[in-house]
Structure 1
Amino acid sequence: MAAPRLRIAPSPTGLFHVGTARTALFNWLEARRTGGTFVLRIEDTDVDRNLLEAADGIQRSMEWLGLDWDEGPFFQSERRERHIEAALSLAEAGWAYWSDPMPLAPDGKPERYDGRDRDRGLERAPGRALRFRSPDEGSTRVTDLVRGEPTFPNAVLEDFGLLKGTGGPLFLLANVVDDLDMAITHVVRGEDHLSNTPKYQLLWEAIAPGTPLPLFAHLPLIVNEKRQKLSKRRDKVALEQFRDEGYLPEVMGNFLALLGWSPANGRERFRIDEVVKEFSLADVVPSSAFFDLKKLDSFNGDAIRELGADDLLERVRPFLGGWDPERARPLLSEVQTRIVRLDGVAPMVDFLYLDEPAWDDASWEKAVRQTSGATAGLLGTVADGWARCRWDVEAVREVVVEAGAAAGLNLKKAQAPVRVALTGRSVGPPLFESTVILGRAEAVRRVRAALERVPPPPA
């Protein structure tokens, strides 16, 4: 038996959707498990909506996930003549006929085609579309690895288009012709394509009678917390966005694999290469898969905390906008315990790089209130002490402890305005380690500058 051949065939009309990413992953897993071939095909027949950058984005996103392909990328637009040739052969064989444009409905869109040209014997002419002659009787049964054998009455299948009035091939024609020519053995896609599958089968059998159909697997719908289908207008669905926010690629692959499938042992955290031997399309469930952002954040936070120091440093680098991560290295082990995404690092360490910290007025006002009117004296004492003390974590901490005690404040309250003075915020990495990294001169300067923000005592 020939080795399986699977494909992912996204359209380059926008950002790479997490649903497409899940489909690509399941195809890749099945190909790798079976020793088959994984093909990348860009379905760019919709020339009015195609975006050049989207085709590049598809490839970058798959590379980011670690999904390597064995053949391609192939572009459907480069096979246009082959698609037209196949359509004209169907017309010659009586499987297709020419049709005039449908009149426009009140909303400006063409009316639904009603078969009016089926028996008119129209010739090919500019503006005429070519339609497939769907059977009137019987039914078409689809064998699906996920959904069993759904059956579709042929009477409900319209005579679907093969060639546009402009002469260009339509999606379904190009899809079937390319799958035939590329010897695709498995068609794995989202359940929203299930209704097209009887048309796909009829077209396949008309073009290549006797050629075995591919195995179908229609993956479950991915839904949000309201059990609604993920929508790019409402939900976060672009894989590029998750990448740019600092989700780890291995975590994203792990999470996507669980959208419709799970290992037999019930384990939820794994590397994709660990489950290649376990994965099977036959184990995919048909029920909707919940895209649980809280679970994704939990997975990602856990994975970030498991990173070694050098690995974390390199992964953080793209999120620091050109800043040298080495300066923040001493703080990263603490920072990584507090974030769930890599884009959370910069706001916690930006004070090390900025000439002036990003100031949060609310944090400052709260810190001043906590010191009960002692802020100015406290900061002045800290600045003077830091200007003279030994410059290490223990010494700078002791200065704040003593300054707080002199003002009648415990360490928690005493360090609050000091932290805001240095970092601009009320929360962040360990204060005294941060102070030492910032350096004596800059730390003293910032504390003295904060003195100018202390409100005068009431008259």
Structure 2
Amino acid sequence: MSESVSTPRVRFAPSPTGYLHVGGARTALFNWLYARHFGGTLILRIEDTDFERSSEEMVEGILEGMRWLGLNWDEGPFYQSKRLELYRQTAEKLLASGHAYYCFCTREELEQRRAAAVAAGRPPMYDRRCRRIEKDIAAQRKAAGEACALRFAVPEGGATSFEDAVFGKVEFSNAEIEDFVLLRSDGIPTYHLSVVADDIDMRLTHIIRGADHISNTPKQVLQYRALGVQLPVFAHVPLILGPDKTRLSKRHGATSVIAYKEFGIVPEAFRNFLSLLGWTPGAAGKDADGKDREIFGSDELIRLFSLDGISKSNAVFDNDKLAWFNTEYIRAYDAQKLLPLIEEEWAKAGFTPDRSQDEVLAAINLVKPRARNLKDFAIAFRAYFIDSFEYDPAAVAKFLKDDFVRALLVELAARYESTAEFTEASTEQVLREFAEEKGVKAGALINGSRVALTGQAVAPSLFAVMVNLGKNRVVKRLAAANNVGTV
């Protein structure tokens, strides 16, 4: 089965023992891109048979993360906890065909033997002793109620291999593969059994997942062959590492996708950033000068994505690079597209702008080139949208420490109030003429006005800010300069 299957069926199958993490999101994204590229089907499957650690909260967290990223699925979500009968039926087929056997060893016995093997310098693998029990006797013991698990009978010689779309031929000696458990003694399936039963039942054509699953694949290949089912295409994508080249973890910062939403990351920016962690579009992704492009819209990513572009090398998660993507997307979005994303930040900050829709959109366009994230529109840029805002103490201490400057700003407010024209050119002219009249540098009034009007030491052109805020707000805020920073 080749990559070019006309209607591929792929899946994202997270375990709800934690929120959607970066690695899982990248796997979901690659599957989504592949399905959309070929007009195929993306199935969402929740692997929740770890009943002690799985929770509804984590399931909802996974779904929320996928929705935020815009990764819509076509079928599901299916829950493994509701498909236990399928796994038991699959196990029965393997038992009936002689590819599985009952194991009556207790947990204590297994632990003792593993410890002895380690002490003797041998691999701590199951010694297959229950494999030597005659089938009839094993069935009688099982029927009599003796507790037992079901193990797969791995061939004792030779090797198990498969072709991987990323890594090429991958081969494991069967001597290195333990007779793995299919059903535990309580009847609950292991990952190895449930994933194969589901992938076959859901008619999956491609298994695109992290390279950390490569060691699981021979166990699954053996089951496919034992069940007489054609193998899907396996594509194992490289791991995501932190800047120190160790596997990405909490010590590198947030690993939950929703945390990045809370940081004010634009979902499309995060999607673009994730897509390039371990994948490149090749020659199709270069600009007219032959340089590699990095900004790709969703339609472009879908059109360009292929398994051929997936790297064998691990990817590095660079927070500075993500921040760059975020600023680029914020700058490129028009205000109307940014507005619903920013409104979420305003809601979290507990306010609604007290300006008209047109004024709000104009303010967004004014400040978005300086935005690092969406939260800036509710914190650093709050003064552009509502009259209740805080002043940066450092900015006040630097530019409004002089009472004389404060007094001049109050007087400047009166000048603006009596001015008929209120444009960038006219507001600048008024300020500079006023500074000359008072014998002070215009810069002192510009810096002081910026803090009085926005609460910040850094802002777009002061006179563009004034026009955006409007004459009434400018007059009101400058007139209150004596009260800035006081309680």
Instruction: Using structure 1 for the length normalisation, give the TM-score.
Output: 0.86
**Aligned with 2:328 (options 288, 295, 302):** 302
Is 1:226 aligned with 2:226? no
Q: Is the 8 A contact 1:220 1:260 kept in 2?
A: yes
Aligned pairs (5 A) from 1:164-183: 164-183=184-203
5+ residue gaps, structure 2: 119-123, 287-292
Aligned to 1:374: 404
Aligned to 2:446: 415
Counterparts of 2:267 and 2:326, CA distance in 1: 10
Change (3 A) 1:407 1:21: same
Using the TM superposition, give the Cα deviation of residue 192 of structure 1 relative to its aligned residue in structure 2, in angstroms: 0.4
Aligned to 2:205: 185
Counterparts of 1:439 and 1:2, CA distance in 2: 58
Is 1:235 aligned with 2:239? no
Counterparts of 2:147 and 2:430, CA distance in 1: 85
Counterparts of 1:389 and 1:101, CA distance in 2: 91
Change (3 A) 1:233 1:78: farther
Aligned pairs (5 A) from 1:96-107: 96-103=101-108
**Aligned with 1:29 (options 10, 30, 33):** 33
**Aligned with 2:377 (options 334, 342, 345):** 345
Counterparts of 2:105 and 2:479, CA distance in 1: 81
**Could you tell me the percent identity over the aligned residues?**
39
Q: Is the 8 A contact 1:32 1:276 kept in 2?
A: yes
Cα root mean square deviation, aligned: 3.0
Change (3 A) 1:450 1:82: same
1:218 partner SS: strand
Change (3 A) 1:173 1:311: same
Using the TM superposition, give the Cα deviation of residue 244 of structure 1 relative to its aligned residue in structure 2, in angstroms: 3.5
Using the TM superposition, give the Cα deviation of residue 93 of structure 1 relative to its aligned residue in structure 2, in angstroms: 4.0
Using the TM superposition, give the Cα deviation of residue 180 of structure 1 relative to its aligned residue in structure 2, in angstroms: 1.1
Larger deviation: 186-195 or 286-295?
A: 286-295
Counterparts of 1:305 and 1:96, CA distance in 2: 62
Counterparts of 1:204 and 1:134, CA distance in 2: 13
Using the TM superposition, give the Cα deviation of residue 17 of structure 1 relative to its aligned residue in structure 2, in angstroms: 1.7
What whole-Å deviation, never above 9, does each CA across 1:220-270 have from its counterpart, x for those lacking one? 111122212211453332222223333333333322222222123233222
What whole-Å deviation, never above 9, does each CA across 1:300-331 have from its counterpart, x for those lacking one? 32222222232233442222225247343222
Aligned to 1:249: 267
Residue identity in the other structure for 2:104: S
Larger deviation: 306-315 or 281-290?
A: 306-315
Aligned to 2:223: 203
1:384 partner SS: helix
Using the TM superposition, give the Cα deviation of residue 406 of structure 1 relative to its aligned residue in structure 2, in angstroms: 4.1
Change (3 A) 1:113 1:283: same
5+ residue gaps, structure 1: none
Is 1:331 aligned with 2:363? yes
Counterparts of 2:457 and 2:222, CA distance in 1: 66
Is 1:143 aligned with 2:163? yes
Aligned pairs (5 A) from 1:421-432: 421-432=452-463
Aligned to 1:264: 282
Aligned to 1:114: 126
Q: Is the 8 A contact 2:422 2:471 kept in 1?
A: no
Change (3 A) 1:166 1:404: farther
Q: Is the 8 A contact 2:46 2:78 kept in 1?
A: yes
Q: Is the 8 A contact 1:390 1:396 kept in 2?
A: no
Q: Is the 8 A contact 2:101 2:152 kept in 1?
A: yes
What whole-Å deviation, never above 9, does each CA across 1:164-196 have from its counterpart, x for those lacking one? 333211212110100111111211100000011
Instruction: Using structure 2 for the length normalisation, give the TM-score.
Output: 0.82
Aligned to 1:80: 84
Change (3 A) 1:263 1:113: closer
Larger deviation: 286-295 or 398-407?
A: 398-407
1:152 partner SS: strand
Is 1:162 aligned with 2:201? no
Using the TM superposition, give the Cα deviation of residue 217 of structure 1 relative to its aligned residue in structure 2, in angstroms: 0.6
Q: Is the 8 A contact 1:97 1:133 kept in 2?
A: no
How many aligned residue pairs are there? Answer: 448
2:156 partner SS: coil
Larger deviation: 134-143 or 324-333?
A: 324-333
What whole-Å deviation, never above 9, does each CA across 1:86-137 have from its counterpart, x for those lacking one? 224434444132233323979xx9x966336534746345754333232332
Using the TM superposition, give the Cα deviation of residue 71 of structure 1 relative to its aligned residue in structure 2, in angstroms: 2.0
Change (3 A) 1:270 1:438: closer
1:348 partner SS: coil
Q: Is the 8 A contact 1:118 1:133 kept in 2?
A: no
What whole-Å deviation, never above 9, does each CA across 1:330-354 have from its counterpart, x for those lacking one? 2222211112322222223312455
Counterparts of 2:234 and 2:485, CA distance in 1: 70
Change (3 A) 1:437 1:253: closer
Counterparts of 1:236 and 1:18, CA distance in 2: 9
Q: Is the 8 A contact 2:352 2:386 kept in 1?
A: no
Change (3 A) 1:422 1:30: closer
Q: Is the 8 A contact 1:381 1:403 kept in 2?
A: no
1:374 partner SS: helix
Change (3 A) 1:398 1:188: same
Using the TM superposition, give the Cα deviation of residue 425 of structure 1 relative to its aligned residue in structure 2, in angstroms: 2.0
Counterparts of 2:326 and 2:6, CA distance in 1: 39
**Aligned with 2:45 (options 35, 41, 47):** 41
2:172 partner SS: strand
Using the TM superposition, give the Cα deviation of residue 79 of structure 1 relative to its aligned residue in structure 2, in angstroms: 0.4
Residue identity in the other structure for 2:273: F
Using the TM superposition, give the Cα deviation of residue 282 of structure 1 relative to its aligned residue in structure 2, in angstroms: 2.9
What whole-Å deviation, never above 9, does each CA across 1:378-403 have from its counterpart, x for those lacking one? 23322433443337245554443344
1:347 partner SS: coil
